[in-house]
C-alpha cells in the first residue's frame, strides 16, 4: 500500500540556490519538450513519446548552449519528461485539460524518483546532501519518490511517497449517517444520538485582513520590488485560510473515523452547487476535501465509506413514515410531516435517512462475505478490496 507524508524543509542558502537551479532546469525541460511536441504534431500529426524525448534530452545536455542542464539531477529531469507524457495521456483519455507551460512566478516543484533517504535530522536528496526537515513521526517502509515544492510564500516542503505493508484490519464501531450542510457542517446520527459540528468559515474570518492587503497590493507599481513583497503578504493570508480549513477538516474526519466503522455520506455535486449564489460558502466549507479525508482514513483502518446517490431525497423524506415532502425549501430548517405529523429537524432527519440508505446499500451489495454487527445492525459486507461503495442509479422514493 502506498502512503505519503508531507514535511517542512529548511534548506540553507547553498541548498536554496541548488534547488532554484533544479526547479529552473525541470521547468525548462517541461516547457521545451511541450513546445517541441506541439510543433511536431502540427507538422506531421504525431507527437513525441517519453523515449523520443529522453534520447533528445541526452543530446541536448551536450549542446554548448545547454550545458547548465547538467547541474540538475538527471533523474529529476527524466521524471519531468515522464510527467509530461502522463499529462498528455490524461488529456487524450479525457481525465484532464491540455498540458500548460509552467511559469517561474508560480509554485515550483520537482520529483526525485530515486536516491533519497531519511536521515536523523532531515532528508537526503541527490546533489543537495541532507536538507534539514521536521519529521513528525517515524517512517516505516520503502521510499518510492520525494516531491520537493516551494510555495508562493517561499516555504519548502517534501512529499515523501512510501510503500508500506498492507496489513488487513477489521475495524469495529458504529454505522453513522453524516449530513453535510452550511449551517451545520456535519450532522451525525449513529443510531442512538445526534450531534452537530458548526463550520469555522475561515474565508470570512480572515476577509478583513485579506481585503486590506489586496488593497495595498493594487496601489503598488507594476514590476516594483514593493509589489513583489506585497504579493507574498497576500499569499500568506491565502495560505493561512487554506491551512486553517485543512486542519479543521482533518480533526473532524479523525474524530468520525475513530468512532465509526461505516460512514454514510451523500454524493454531492460540489461543482454544480459552486455555480450558485452559495458558491463562496460551499467552497469555504470544503465538502469534497472532507469526504476525501474520510475515505483515506477509513481505508487505512479497515472502515467503509458509503456514498449515497445525490438523487436520493434524504432531506425531503420523512424518516418515520417515508412521506416525501416536495414543498420543502432551503429556508425550512424544521418541518412537520403532513402524513404522520412528526416534527423534524431538517439536518437530523437527513442524517437518519442517509444511515438507513447506507445500511440498505451494504445489505444489497453482497458477495457471500460474513456478516458483522455494528450498533445493533446486522449487515453483510462486500469484499475487503471494495472499501468505498457508491449506489449507482438508485430509484428515488416517489
Residue 391 exposure: Cα atoms within 13 Å on the Cβ side: 25
- Residue-level pLDDT at 35: 94
Judged against a pLDDT cut of 70, whether residue 307 lies above it is answered with yes
Same domain, 138 and 187: no
Answer yes or no: do 376 and 278 share one domain. yes
Residues 139 and 282 in one domain: no
User: What does the pLDDT look like over 126-184, one tens digit per residue?
Assistant: 989 999 998 888 888 888 999 999 998 889 999 999 888 776 666 677 888 999 988 88
Nearest to 171 by CA among 327, 350, 381, 339: 381
User: Do 140 and 274 fall into the same domain?
Assistant: no
Q: What cell was used for 69?
A: 542542464
Instruction: Average the pLDDT over 92-114 and give the result.
Output: 91
**Is 247 one of the catalytic residues?**
no
Please state whether 115 falls in left (phi above 0), alpha (psi between -120 and 50) or beta: left
Residue 239 placed within a domain: no
Instruction: Report if residue 117 sits inside a domain.
Output: yes
Report pLDDT digits (tens) over 347-385: 888 898 899 888 888 888 644 333 444 444 444 444 333
**348 CB-near residues (< 8 Å, 6+ apart):** 179, 187, 189, 194
Evaluate whether residue 397 is within a structural domain.
no
Q: How confident is the model at residue 327 (pLDDT cuts 50, 70, 90)?
A: confident
Residue 386 has pLDDT above 50, yes or no: no
Q: What DSSP designation does 365 have? A: S
- The sign one gets for the Cα dihedral 172, 175, 179, 185 is negative
The residue written with cell numbers 454524493 in the block is: 267
Catalytic residue among 85, 179, 190, 348: 179
Please tell me whether residues 108 and 194 are part of one structural domain.
no
Mean pLDDT of the region 35-43: 92
Whether the CB-CB separation of 48 and 40 falls below 8 Å is answered with: yes
From the list 85, 190, 307, 347, the catalytic residue is 347
Give the residue, 240 or 338, on which the prediction is more confident: 240
Helical segments of 260-318, H only: 270-273, 279-285, 287-301
Burial 173-193 (b: 16+ CB within 10 A, else e): bbbbbbbbbeebbbbbbbbee
CA distance 84 to 50: 8
Strand runs labelled E in 47-155: 108-112, 117-118, 122-125, 129-134, 142-150
Average pLDDT of the segment spanning 81-99: 93
Average pLDDT, stretch 84-95?
93
Domain extent for 371:
174-198+253-390
Residue 109 within any structural domain of the chain? yes
Domain shared by 314 and 191, yes or no: yes
**Can you tell me the distance from the alpha carbon of 96 to that of 82, in angstroms, rounded to the nearest whole number?**
16
Let me know whether 324 and 191 are in one domain: yes
Q: Among 266, 307, 348, 377, which one carries the catalytic annotation?
A: 266
Which DSSP symbol is given to 149? E
pLDDT digits (tens, 9 = 90+) for 193-235: 889 999 999 999 999 999 999 999 999 999 899 999 999 999 9
Give the angle 346-184-253 at the CA atoms, nearest 5°.
120
- Report d(CA 298, CA 146) in Å as an integer: 25
Q: Which of 114, 84, 113 is nearest to 99 (CA)?
A: 84
How many whole angstroms separate alpha carbon 100 and alpha carbon 109?
15
State how beta strands 343-345 and 334-336 pair. antiparallel
Q: Report how many domains make up the chain.
A: 2
309 and 365 fall within a common domain: yes
Q: What DSSP character marks residue 69?
A: G
**Average per-residue pLDDT in the chain?**
85
Q: What is the pLDDT of residue 206?
A: 93
Please report whether residue 23 resides in a domain. Answer: yes
Percent of the chain with pLDDT over 70: 90
Residue 233 lies in a domain: no
Contacts of 325 (CB under 8 A, 6+ apart): 316, 317, 318, 335, 337, 338
- Within-domain flag for 60: yes
Q: Can you give the pLDDT at residue 142?
A: 86
Q: Are residues 183 and 118 in the same domain?
A: no
Which residue would you say has higher pLDDT here, 398 or 289? 289
Is residue 393's pLDDT more than 70?
Answer: no
Query: What pLDDT was estimated at residue 212?
Result: 96
Active-site residue flag, 266: yes
In this structure, the dihedral spanned by the alpha carbons of residues 376, 381, 387 and 391, taken in order and rounded to 10 degrees, is -90
Q: Are residues 106 and 191 in the same domain?
A: no
Whether residue 188 contacts residue 209, with contact meaning beta carbons closer than 8 Å, is answered with no
Please state, in angstroms and rounded to a whole number, the distance separating the CA atoms of residues 177 and 170: 20
Residues 149 and 8 in one domain: yes
Whether residue 224 is contained in a domain is answered as no
Mean per-residue pLDDT, 331-338: 82
Evaluate whether 53 touches 68 at the Cβ level (below 8 Å): no
Percent of the chain with pLDDT over 90: 47
Q: Residue 10's pLDDT is what?
A: 94
Residue 185 and residue 137 in one domain: no
- Gap between the Cα atoms of 316 and 344, Å rounded: 10
Amino acid at each position: 500500500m502506498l502512503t505519503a507524508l508531507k514535511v517542512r524543509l529548511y534548506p540553507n542558502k547553498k541548498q536554496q540556490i541548488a534547488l532554484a537551479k533544479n526547479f529552473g532546469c525541470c521547468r525548462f525541460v517541461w516547457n521545451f519538450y511541450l513546445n517541441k511536441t506541439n510543433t511536431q504534431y502540427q507538422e506531421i500529426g504525431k507527437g513525441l513519446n517519453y523515449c523520443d524525448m529522453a534520447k533528445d534530452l541526452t543530446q541536448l545536455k551536450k549542446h554548448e548552449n545547454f550545458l547548465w542542464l547538467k547541474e540538475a539531477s538527471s533523474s529529476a529531469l527524466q521524471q519531468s519528461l515522464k510527467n509530461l507524457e502522463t499529462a498528455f495521456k490524461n488529456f487524450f483519455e479525457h481525465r484532464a485539460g491540455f498540458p500548460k507551460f509552467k511559469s517561474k512566478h508560480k509554485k515550483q516543484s520537482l520529483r526525485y524518483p530515486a536516491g533519497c533517504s531519511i536521515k536523523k535530522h532531515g532528508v537526503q536528496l541527490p546533489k543537495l546532501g541532507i536538507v534539514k526537515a521536521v519529521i513528525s513521526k517515524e517512517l516505516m517502509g520503502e521510499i518510492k519518490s520525494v516531491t520537493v515544492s516551494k510555495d508562493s510564500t517561499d516555504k519548502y516542503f517534501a512529499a515523501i511517497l512510501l510503500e508500506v505493508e498492507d496489513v488487513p484490519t477489521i475495524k469495529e464501531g458504529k454505522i453513522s449517517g453524516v449530513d453535510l450542510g452550511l449551517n451545520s457542517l456535519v450532522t451525525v446520527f449513529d443510531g442512538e444520538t445526534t450531534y452537530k459540528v458548526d463550520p469555522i468559515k475561515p474565508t470570512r474570518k480572515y476577509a478583513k485582513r485579506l481585503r486590506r492587503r489586496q488593497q495595498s497590493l493594487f496601489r503598488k507599481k507594476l514590476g516594483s520590488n514593493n509589489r513583489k513583497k506585497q504579493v507574498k503578504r497576500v499569499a500568506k493570508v491565502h495560505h493561512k485560510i487554506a491551512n486553517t480549513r485543512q486542519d479543521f477538516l482533518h480533526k473532524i474526519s479523525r474524530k468520525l473515523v475513530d468512532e465509526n466503522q461505516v460512514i454514510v455520506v451523500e454524493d454531492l455535486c460540489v461543482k454544480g452547487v459552486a455555480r450558485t449564489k452559495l458558491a463562496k460558502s460551499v467552497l469555504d466549507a470544503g465538502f469534497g476535501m472532507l469526504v476525501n479525508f474520510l475515505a483515506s482514513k477509513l481505508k487505512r483502518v479497515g472502515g467503509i465509506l458509503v456514498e449515497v446517490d445525490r438523487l436520493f431525497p434524504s432531506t425531503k423524506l420523512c424518516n418515520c413514515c417515508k412521506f416525501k415532502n416536495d414543498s420543502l425549501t432551503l429556508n425550512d430548517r424544521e418541518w412537520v410531516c403532513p402524513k404522520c405529523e412528526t416534527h423534524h429537524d431538517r439536518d437530523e432527519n437527513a442524517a437518519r435517512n442517509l444511515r438507513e440508505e447506507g445500511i440498505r446499500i451494504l445489505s444489497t451489495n453482497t458477495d457471500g462475505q460474513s456478516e458483522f454487527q455494528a450498533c445493533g445492525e446486522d449487515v453483510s459486507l462486500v469484499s475487503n478490496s471494495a472499501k468505498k461503495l457508491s449506489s449507482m442509479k438508485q430509484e428515488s422514493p416517489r
